[in-house]
């Protein structure tokens, strides 16, 4: 039946004695093996079968491969099938090389400078409102003249992309992070500081359009490096404010708190009414630190106070486990204890959505998101912002601290520096700048700009003198444990972690000690 000769076959059985069932196999001339039970058979087969090579079986039986078979005998491989196989492979190879040619041709364009019209590329970290603002200004710029073609590209993974584009020389205007060197050790130098030293930024100090900006902003330690200004400040925003649901406050008859005790009292009243007091977008990391910065903004109100704290961190004269630093952690814990359960796992946008749904009364987010909050709340209730009153006295709690938004530098290695400067100048003209500020929701970095933005108007009373918030000022040695970068390990406090304020403060102190 099977076509295999009898004497080529093997028979395995347990009844091979004369007279038993299997004896005929011997009579027929087959090679026989005697076994006792089925597992003997299995062992026998295992021993005699060609050792199973998984890779070979995979290659033969891999379900992804179209019907192919290894020719069992050489004779089955005809000339024709070889010819066809060869043809197919040749066509495939040709197609691939054609694709590669197209690809290579396509990649030839990079940052080519064509003679009829310079092209400049502007990049910034992606953020919907400011993206819209930059795009609007760029479009107006392109419409207003024809020698320069400007392109704006919002970017995620900004720091890597920026470094990458700089090395490819494919960017002309980009967001930079200037920082005045404090005179600490070399460890403190950030990439931007090194870039300034290496002359990779165009010096804008003497450009006439820089006079359009608020001079105190240009003089801040986050604007100049060694007395030179390399960056155009596109706006200001505030990080230490608390968004609050005015309807909830009105219903409960609460006034805006101006001291820490009033703040706690309001918090308790809200809790008593069955509403969660606070929420923030913990999943995105930095929002959890915003209440901390608010508290620090009150405990160290002036720039000089924060500066002294920073110096104390570097030279060890400040002990994070006592006094104001510890108090900051303890007050932060109070806030965390009254935050919604969903906060640590919510992204910023989910948090804004939750705020709009009334899931909590107050939200920690920067004023840079004010347009998004307005959109999502959609008029369901009025909301506003007040500075987090982290200190005991009203005097300490009067100002919002913030940062200089998205500072733009021009690359000195770009082939189109003049065009880049032209774009920056266009951006700095008051009408264009107003367009940007209105779209982005930043507070203006130029004086006398009318924004018609009710939110910005409502907080202007808290923003009369510009103060940097702690995160803008603090810088840590490169070797520091990342959690202790800002000097306060907020991620250790519940609900983000499991430590008490004292333990978290001790951990931060240990981390800084290790690198002093």
Q: From CA 190, how far away is CA 365, in angstroms rounded?
A: 26
Contact status: 67 vs other proteins (CB under 8 A): yes
Report the residue number, 443 or 486, with the smaller CB distance to other proteins: 486
Given candidates 2, 8, 69, 215, which one binds other proteins under the rule CB under 8 A? 69
Q: 326 to each of 291, 316, 331, 509, how far by Cα in Å?
A: 15, 15, 9, 11
Q: Using CB under 8 A, which residues numbered 123 to 142 contact other proteins?
A: 126
Which of the stretches 241-249, 259-267, 432-440, 484-492 binds other proteins when contact is defined by CB under 8 A? 484-492
Question: Which residue shows structure tokens 């008029």?
Answer: 379
C-alpha–C-alpha distance, residues 445 and 427, integer Å: 12
Least distance to other proteins, CB of residue 163, Å: 4
| Least CB distance to other proteins at residue 283 (A) | 4
171-193 residues labelled b (16+ CB within 10 A) or e (exposed) = bbbbbbbbbebeebeeebbeebb
Should residue 68 be labelled a site residue for other proteins when binding is judged by CB under 8 A?
Answer: yes
Residue (59 or 265) nearer to other proteins, CB: 59
Helix, strand, or coil here: 88? helix
**Mask for 138-177, x = binds other proteins (CB under 8 A):** ---------------xx-xxxxxxxxxxxxx-xx------
Which residues 72-91 are close enough to bind other proteins by CB under 8 A?
Answer: 74, 77, 81-82, 85-86, 89
**CB of 57: closest distance to other proteins in angstroms?**
4
Q: How far is the CB of 467 from other proteins (least distance, A)?
A: 24
Nearer to other proteins, 28 or 43 (CB): 43
64 binds other proteins (CB under 8 A): yes
Using DSSP's 3-state secondary structure scheme, residue 388 falls into coil
Separation CA 199–CA 56 (nearest Å): 60
Report whether 460 contacts 447 (CB < 8 A).
no
Q: Please say which residue, 102 or 450, places its beta carbon nearer to other proteins.
A: 102
Least Å distance between CB 196 and other proteins? 11
Residue whose pair of structure tokens reads 């008051």 in the numeric block:
430
Which residue in 311, 350, 382, 503 binds other proteins (CB under 8 A)?
A: 350
Structure tokens at 281: 């977008």
Closest distance of CB 213 from other proteins, Å: 26
**How many residues of this chain bind other proteins (CB under 8 A)?**
104
Residues within window 360-379 making contact with other proteins, judged by CB under 8 A: 376
User: Which one of 255, 272, 304, 479 is in contact with other proteins (CB under 8 A)?
Assistant: 479
Q: How far is the CB of 61 from other proteins (least distance, A)?
A: 4
**In the set 191, 268, 457, 465, which binds other proteins (CB under 8 A)?**
191
| Position 46 contacts other proteins (CB under 8 A) | yes
- Options 210-218, 325-333, 349-357, 435-443: segment touching other proteins (CB under 8 A): 349-357
Cα 48 from chain centroid (whole Å): 60
What token pair was written down for 109? 């364009």
Note whether 94 binds other proteins by CB under 8 A.
Answer: no
Beta strand 276-280 pairing with 360-364: parallel
- Which of 21, 53, 185, 461 lies at the binding interface for other proteins (CB under 8 A)? 53
Which of 70-78, 134-142, 299-307, 387-395 is the region at the interface with other proteins (rule: CB under 8 A)? 70-78
Using rule CB under 8 A, residue 58 touches other proteins: yes
393 binds other proteins (CB under 8 A): no
Distance (Å, whole) CA 205 – CA 100: 47
State the maximum Cα–Cα separation within the chain, in Å, rounded to a whole number: 116
Full 3-state SS string of 6-66: HHHCEEEECCCCCCCCCHHHHHHCCEEEECCCHHHHHHHHHHHCCCCCHHHHHHHHCCCCC
Residues composing the chain: 516
Q: What is the DSSP string of 317-383?
A: -S-TTSHHHHHHHHHHHHHHHTB-TTGGG--HHHHHHHHHTTSEEEEE--GGGHHHHHHHHTTSS-E
User: Quick one: which segment of 18-26, 192-200, 209-217, 295-303 binds other proteins (CB under 8 A)?
Assistant: 192-200
Does 48 sit near other proteins (CB under 8 A)?
no
Is residue 174 helix, strand or coil?
Answer: strand
The helix or strand, by DSSP H or E, that contains position 418, with its residue range, turns out to be helix 417-428
Q: How far is the CB of 495 from other proteins (least distance, A)?
A: 8
Q: Which is nearer to other proteins, 433 or 512 (CB)?
A: 512
58 or 265: CB nearest other proteins? 58
Please answer whether residues 404 and 366 qualify as being in contact, where contact means their C-beta atoms are separated by less than 8 angstroms.
no
Q: Are strands 31-34 and 10-13 parallel, antiparallel or unpaired?
A: parallel
In this complex, which beta carbon is closest to other proteins, that of residue 293 or of residue 433? Answer: 293
Tokens of 129: 């409102």
Binding mask 207-246 for other proteins (x = CB under 8 A): ----------------------------------------
d(CA 163, CA 324): 39
Using the rule CB under 8 A, which residue among 200, 428, 440, 472 binds other proteins?
A: 200
Mask of contacts with other proteins, 6-45, x by CB under 8 A?
Answer: -------------------------------xxx-xxx-x
Which DSSP symbol is given to 227?
Answer: T
């Amino acid at each position: 039946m099977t076509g295999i000769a009898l004497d080529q076959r093997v028979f395995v059985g347990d009844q091979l004695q004369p007279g038993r069932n299997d004896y005929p196999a011997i009579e027929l001339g087959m090679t026989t093996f005697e076994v006792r039970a089925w597992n003997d058979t299995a062992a026998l087969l295992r021993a005699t079968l060609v050792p199973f090579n998984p890779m070979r079986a995979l290659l033969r039986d891999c379900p992804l491969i179209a019907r192919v078979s290894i020719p069992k005998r050489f004779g089955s491989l005809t000339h024709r099938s070889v010819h066809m196989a060869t043809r197919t492979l040749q066509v495939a190879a040709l197609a691939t090389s054609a694709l590669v040619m197209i690809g290579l041709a396509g990649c030839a364009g990079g940052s080519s400078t064509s003679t009829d019209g310079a092209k400049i590329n502007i990049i910034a970290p992606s953020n919907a409102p400011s993206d819209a603002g930059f795009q609007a200004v760029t479009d107006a710029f392109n419409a207003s003249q024809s020698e320069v073609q400007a392109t704006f590209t919002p970017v995620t993974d900004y720091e890597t992309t920026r470094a990458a584009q700089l090395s490819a020389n494919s960017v002309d205007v980009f967001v930079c992070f200037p920082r005045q060197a404090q005179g600490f050790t070399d460890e403190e130098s950030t990439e931007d500081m090194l870039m300034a030293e290496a002359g990779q930024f165009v010096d804008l100090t003497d450009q006439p359009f820089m006079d359009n900006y608020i001079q105190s902003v240009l003089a801040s330690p986050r604007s100049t490096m060694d007395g030179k200004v390399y960056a155009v400040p596109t706006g200001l925003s505030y990080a230490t404010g608390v968004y609050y649901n005015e309807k909830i406050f009105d219903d409960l008859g609460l006034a805006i708190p101006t001291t820490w005790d009033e703040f706690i009292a309001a918090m308790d009243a809200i809790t008593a009414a069955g509403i969660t007091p606070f929420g923030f977008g913990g999943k995105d990391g930095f929002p959890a630190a915003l209440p901390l910065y608010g508290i620090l903004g009150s405990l160290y109100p002036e720039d000089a106070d924060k500066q002294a704290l920073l110096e104390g961190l570097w030279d060890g004269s400040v002990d994070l486990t006592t006094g104001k630093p510890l108090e900051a952690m303890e007050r932060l814990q109070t806030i965390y204890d009254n935050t919604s359960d969903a906060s640590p796992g919510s992204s910023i946008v989910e948090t804004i959505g939750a705020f709009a749904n009334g899931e909590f009364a107050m939200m920690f987010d920067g004023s840079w998101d004010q347009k998004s909050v307005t959109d999502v709340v959609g008029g369901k209730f009025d909301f506003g912002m007040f500075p987090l009153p982290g200190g005991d006295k009203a005097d300490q709690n009067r100002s919002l601290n913030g940062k200089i938004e998205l500072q733009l530098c021009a690359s000195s290695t770009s082939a189109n520096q003049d065009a880049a400067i032209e774009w920056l100048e266009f951006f700095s003209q008051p009408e264009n700048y107003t367009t940007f500020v209105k779209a982005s929701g930043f507070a203006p970095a130029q004086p006398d700009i009318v924004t018609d933005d009710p939110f910005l108007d409502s907080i202007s009373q808290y923003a009369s003198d510009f103060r940097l918030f702690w995160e803008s000022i603090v810088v840590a040695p490169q070797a520091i444990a990342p959690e202790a970068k800002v000097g306060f390990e907020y991620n250790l406090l519940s609900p983000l972690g499991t430590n008490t304020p004292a333990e978290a403060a001790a951990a931060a102190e240990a981390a800084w000690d290790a690198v002093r």
